[in-house]
C-alpha cells in the first residue's frame, strides 16, 4: 500500500504555480491585480526578455507591515475573504491567497514594501520557494516586487515558453486589459528599458481605449449603455460592417475583471448577426456589472473564465442592449445623420469598414486608375490549347475530362449557382467554390515560381496594431513582402501598407490585411515550411480577396467550368467544400415517383 503524505508547502506551492503561473504574463497579471486590489493609483510594470529574466511591478498602494508581508507569502494567506460566503460579495480580483507563494516558488522573488504609518520598509527575498532573508529597507510607501529567473527551477515549464516577442506581447496585452479595467489608475509599461505606454489617470474608458489602442480605433467605436435590475452594461462597440476575422478584439469584463466569457462573446456575435457577414467578429470593449452573488469567478485556475448563475438572462440582456444601439444607429442614418447606407441588413455584405468619424474609407484614399490591377475575369488564362493570344473561343459545351460527358449551360440561379444540363442529369455549379479553386491553384503556381508582382498604392494604408499582432506580423513581414505585399514598419505598432499583390483589388487591401492578421493570431502562416505557409496564404487569398465576377452569362460560366476542370483538384474548393453537385436522371425520376 502506498503511504499517504501531506506535501511540504514548497512542493504544494510549485504545483499550484503550475496552474496559476503558466507564463510570464501570468506573473504580471497576479501582481497588477494585487496592486489594484490594494487601491494603488499608480502602477509601473517593467520587464526584460519577454519576462523570463526580469519582471518588476511597483505601486503606490498602502503597502504591508513586516508581519503581513511575511504572512502574505504563506499559502492561502489573503486579506480579501474570510469565508466562502465572501465570494458572493467579492469586490477584488484576488481571493485565493495563492499568487505570491506560487510565484515565489518558481522564481527569485524580492518583495519590498512599506506600509502607511511605518518609518521604514521591509525587504523579503525568496529563491525557488526557499526563504533567504528578511530585513529592513528604505523605500516610499507602497510595494515593489521583482521576479527574476522565472521558471529556472522548473525546466518543464520553461520549455513551453514561446519566443521572447510572443511572451512580451502577452505581457503587454495583459497590462492593457487591466489598464482598460481601471482607467482611474495611471499605468506605465516598460520593456527592455523602453516605455511601451504611459497612460495617466483617465476620466473614461473611451479615453483609455484611445490612449492604448490608438485613436484610429477609438474614434470609430460607438458607446453602448444599458441597465436592468441587477445588471448594467457599458462599453464601446464597433460599427456595423466593421468586423474582424477573429474574436481577439472582443474584449469583455465582468465586474471589471477581464474574462473570456462564452456567454458574452456569443451574445455579441448574435447581436451583430445582421450587421456583419458570417464568420466575422465585432470589435468590442464591454463592461458588465452584475451582483457578485450571481456570478462564479472561481471556475478557472487563472480566473480568466466566469460562470453566470442566470446565463440566459445575461445573454438576453446583452443582446438587447447591443442590438438596440445598433438599431438606433440605423434610425439615425435614416434621419440623415452620421452613417450613410441602408438598414443594417443591407450592409451585411460589405466588408470594408462603414464610413466613420476619424477614419476615411479605404476606397476614397486609394486613387484610381491602377495600371496593373485588372478585374478578375480578364486574367483567367484562355482554355487549354488556345495559344494564349486570341480571345476565348465561342462557348462550347464543357467537355468534362474522364467522364466522357458534356455540360450544356442552362442558366444561373440565385446568382450563386450555374445550372448545366448533362447527359447524365443536372449539375449545379457553385460559382464561388469553383472560382476559389481556380484562383487558389493559380496563386499556388504563381507563388511556386516566385513571380508575385506588386502594385504600389498611391496612398499607403496606415495600420495600427496591438502588441501581439505586431510581434506576429514582424515575424512574417519578409514572407509577405516576398509574396507581393509591401508593408513597412514605421514606429511601434504602426505599419504602412505601400503595395499589395497584383491579384488583389486595392480597395480590398485593408480588409484583407486585417483578416490576414487575424489568421496570424490564430497561428496561421506560422508553418516553418515556407511551402505550407504559401499554401495557407493562397487559401486565404482565394477565400477573401478574390472577387466573384459580376457577369455570369453563358460564355463566362462555360469558361468557369473549363477552368475548373483544368485544375488539379476540381471537385472541391480550397476549403474542401464541393464545387458542384450532380442530380442524376435516376434521382430526378425518383423524386417525381416515375
Ligand atoms: P490574494 O490576492 O488572492 O489575496 P496573493 O497571494 O496575491 O493572494 O496576495 C496575498 C496578500 O498579500 C493579499 O491578500 C494582500 O493582502 C497582500 N498583498 C499582495 N500584494 C500587495 C500589494 N501590492 N499591496 C498591498 N498588499 C498586497
Ligand atoms: Mg492576488
What is the pLDDT at residue 400?
A: 59
Contact 282, 288 (CB under 8 A): no
Identify the residue whose C-alpha is closest to ligand 1 atom 17.
72
What is the pLDDT at residue 399?
A: 62
What is the pLDDT at residue 189?
A: 95
Identify the residue whose C-alpha is closest to ligand 1 atom 18.
34
How far, in Å, is the centroid of ligand 2 from the Cα of 219?
34
Distance of alpha carbon 2 from the chain centroid:
48
How far, in Å, is the centroid of ligand 1 from the Cα of 80?
8
Indicate yes or no: pTM above 0.85.
no
Q: Which protein residues have a CB closer than 5 Å to ligand 2 (ion)? A: 34, 94, 99
Report how far residue 17's alpha carbon sits from residue 358's, in angstroms, rounded to the nearest whole number. 45
What is the pLDDT at residue 147?
A: 98
Identify the residue whose C-alpha is closest to ligand 1 atom 12.
72
**For residue 335, what are the contacts with CB-CB under 8 A and spacing of at least 6?**
none
- Nearest atom of ligand 1 to the alpha carbon of 101: 6
Contact 542, 579 (CB under 8 A): no
Report how far residue 256's alpha carbon sits from residue 365's, in angstroms, rounded to the nearest whole number. 38
Report how far residue 466's alpha carbon sits from residue 215's, in angstroms, rounded to the nearest whole number. 12
First-last CA distance in the chain: 75
What is the pLDDT at residue 544?
A: 80
* Residues β-bridged to residue 496: 462, 488
3-state secondary structure of 422: strand
Out of 41, 55, 70, 72, give the residue to mutate to test ligand 1, the one with the largest number of ligand atoms within 8 Å of its CB. Answer: 72
What is the pLDDT at residue 397?
A: 59
Contact 48, 132 (CB under 8 A): no
pLDDT tens for the chain, 594 residues long, are 788 888 888 888 888 777 788 899 999 999 999 999 999 999 999 999 999 999 999 999 999 999 999 999 998 889 998 888 888 888 899 988 999 999 999 999 999 999 998 999 999 999 999 999 999 999 999 999 999 999 988 887 888 888 888 899 899 999 999 999 999 999 999 999 988 888 999 999 999 998 888 777 888 899 999 999 999 999 999 988 888 888 888 999 999 999 999 999 999 999 998 888 878 899 999 999 999 999 998 888 888 889 999 999 999 999 999 999 998 876 665 443 333 333 333 222 322 233 333 333 333 332 222 222 233 333 333 333 333 334 444 445 566 554 446 888 999 998 899 999 988 889 999 999 999 999 999 888 888 887 778 888 888 888 888 777 888 888 888 889 888 899 998 877 888 899 998 888 888 888 888 888 888 777 777 666 778 888 888 888 888 877 788 888 888 888 898 889 888 888 888 888 889 998 888 888 988 988
Residues lining ligand 1, CB < 6 A? Answer: 30, 34-35, 38, 59, 61, 64, 72, 77-80, 94-100, 143
- Nearest atom of ligand 1 to the alpha carbon of 98: 6
What is the pLDDT at residue 528?
A: 67
3-state secondary structure of 176: helix
Sign of the alpha-carbon dihedral angle for 255, 257, 262, 265: positive
How far, in Å, is the centroid of ligand 1 from the Cα of 235?
29
Which ranges constitute the DSSP H helices of 73-154? 99-105
Distance of alpha carbon 231 from the chain centroid:
27
Task: For residue 121, give Cα distances in angstroms to 31, 114, 125, 287.
Answer: 19, 4, 13, 37
- Determine whether 387 is exposed, middle or buried from the number of CB atoms within 10 Å of its CB (0-12, 13-18, 19+): exposed
- Nearest atom of ligand 1 to the alpha carbon of 102: 6
Report how far residue 59's alpha carbon sits from residue 116's, in angstroms, rounded to the nearest whole number. 13
Report how far residue 428's alpha carbon sits from residue 290's, in angstroms, rounded to the nearest whole number. 52
Out of 19, 26, 30, 37, give the residue to mutate to test ligand 1, the one with the largest number of ligand atoms within 8 Å of its CB. Answer: 37
Q: What is the dihedral of CA 271, 274, 275, 281, to 10 degrees?
A: 60
- Nearest atom of ligand 1 to the alpha carbon of 95: 3
What is the pLDDT at residue 133?
A: 96
How far, in Å, is the centroid of ligand 1 from the Cα of 252?
24
Q: What is the dihedral of CA 74, 17, 308, 33, to 10 degrees?
A: 60
For residue 73, which ligand has an atom nearest its CA? 1
Amino acid at each position: 500500500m502506498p503511504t499517504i503524505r501531506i506535501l511540504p508547502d514548497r512542493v504544494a506551492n510549485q504545483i499550484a504555480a503550475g496552474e496559476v503561473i503558466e507564463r510570464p504574463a501570468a506573473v504580471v497579471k497576479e501582481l497588477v491585480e494585487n496592486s489594484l486590489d490594494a487601491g494603488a493609483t499608480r502602477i509601473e510594470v517593467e520587464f526584460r526578455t519577454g519576462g523570463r529574466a526580469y519582471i518588476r511591478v511597483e505601486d503606490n498602494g498602502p503597502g504591508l507591515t513586516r508581519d503581513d508581508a511575511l504572512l502574505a507569502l504563506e499559502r492561502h494567506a489573503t486579506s480579501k475573504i474570510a469565508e466562502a460566503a465572501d465570494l458572493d460579495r467579492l469586490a477584488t480580483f484576488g481571493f485565493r491567497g495563492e499568487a505570491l507563494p506560487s510565484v515565489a516558488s518558481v522564481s527569485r522573488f524580492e518583495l519590498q514594501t512599506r506600509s502607511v504609518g511605518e518609518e521604514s520598509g521591509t525587504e523579503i527575498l525568496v529563491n525557488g520557494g526557499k526563504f533567504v532573508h528578511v530585513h529592513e529597507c528604505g523605500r516610499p510607501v507602497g510595494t515593489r516586487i521583482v521576479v527574476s529567473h522565472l521558471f529556472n527551477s522548473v525546466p518543464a515549464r520553461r520549455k513551453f515558453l514561446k519566443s521572447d516577442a510572443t511572451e512580451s506581447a502577452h505581457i503587454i496585452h495583459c497590462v492593457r486589459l487591466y489598464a482598460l479595467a481601471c482607467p482611474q489608475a495611471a499605468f506605465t509599461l516598460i520593456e527592455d528599458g523602453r516605455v511601451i505606454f504611459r497612460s495617466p489617470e483617465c476620466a473614461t474608458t473611451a479615453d483609455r481605449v484611445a490612449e492604448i489602442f490608438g485613436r484610429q480605433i477609438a474614434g470609430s467605436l460607438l458607446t453602448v449603455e444599458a441597465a436592468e435590475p441587477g445588471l448594467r452594461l457599458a462599453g464601446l462597440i464597433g460599427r456595423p460592417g466593421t468586423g474582424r476575422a477573429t474574436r481577439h478584439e472582443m474584449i469583455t469584463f465582468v465586474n471589471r475583471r477581464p474574462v473570456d466569457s462564452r456567454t458574452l462573446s456569443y451574445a455579441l456575435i448574435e447581436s451583430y448577426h445582421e450587421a456583419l457577414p458570417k464568420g466575422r467578429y465585432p470589435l468590442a470593449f464591454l463592461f458588465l456589472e452584475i451582483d457578485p452573488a450571481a456570478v462564479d469567478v472561481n471556475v478557472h485556475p487563472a480566473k480568466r473564465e466566469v460562470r453566470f448563475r442566470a446565463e440566459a438572462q445575461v445573454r438576453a440582456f446583452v443582446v438587447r442592449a447591443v442590438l438596440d444601439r445598433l438599431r438606433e444607429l440605423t434610425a439615425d442614418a435614416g434621419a440623415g445623420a452620421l452613417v450613410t447606407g441602408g438598414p443594417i441588413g443591407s450592409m451585411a455584405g460589405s466588408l470594408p469598414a462603414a464610413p466613420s468619424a476619424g477614419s476615411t474609407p479605404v476606397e476614397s484614399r486609394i486613387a484610381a486608375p491602377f495600371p496593373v490591377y485588372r478585374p478578375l475575369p480578364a486574367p483567367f488564362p484562355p482554355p487549354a490549347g488556345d495559344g494564349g493570344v486570341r480571345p476565348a473561343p465561342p462557348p462550347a459545351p464543357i467537355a468534362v475530362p474522364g467522364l466522357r460527358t458534356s455540360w450544356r449551360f442552362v442558366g444561373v440561379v440565385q446568382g450563386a449557382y450555374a445550372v448545366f444540363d448533362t447527359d447524365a442529369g443536372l449539375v449545379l455549379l457553385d460559382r464561388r467554390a469553383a472560382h476559389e479553386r481556380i484562383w487558389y491553384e493559380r496563386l499556388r503556381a504563381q507563388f511556386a515560381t516566385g513571380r508575385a508582382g506588386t502594385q504600389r498604392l498611391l496612398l499607403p494604408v496606415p495600420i495600427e496594431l496591438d502588441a501581439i499582432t505586431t510581434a506576429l506580423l514582424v515575424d512574417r513581414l519578409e514572407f509577405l513582402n516576398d509574396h507581393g505585399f509591401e508593408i513597412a514598419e514605421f514606429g511601434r505598432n504602426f505599419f504602412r501598407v505601400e503595395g499589395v499583390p497584383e491579384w488583389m483589388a486595392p480597395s480590398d487591401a485593408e480588409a484583407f490585411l486585417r483578416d490576414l492578421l487575424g489568421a496570424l493570431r490564430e497561428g496561421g502562416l506560422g508553418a516553418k515550411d515556407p511551402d505550407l505557409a504559401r499554401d495557407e496564404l493562397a487559401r486565404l487569398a482565394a477565400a477573401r480577396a478574390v472577387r466573384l465576377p459580376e457577369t455570369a452569362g453563358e460564355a463566362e460560366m462555360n469558361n468557369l467550368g473549363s477552368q475548373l476542370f483544368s485544375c488539379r483538384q476540381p471537385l472541391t474548393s480550397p476549403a474542401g467544400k464541393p464545387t458542384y453537385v450532380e442530380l442524376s436522371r435516376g434521382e430526378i425520376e425518383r423524386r417525381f415517383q416515375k
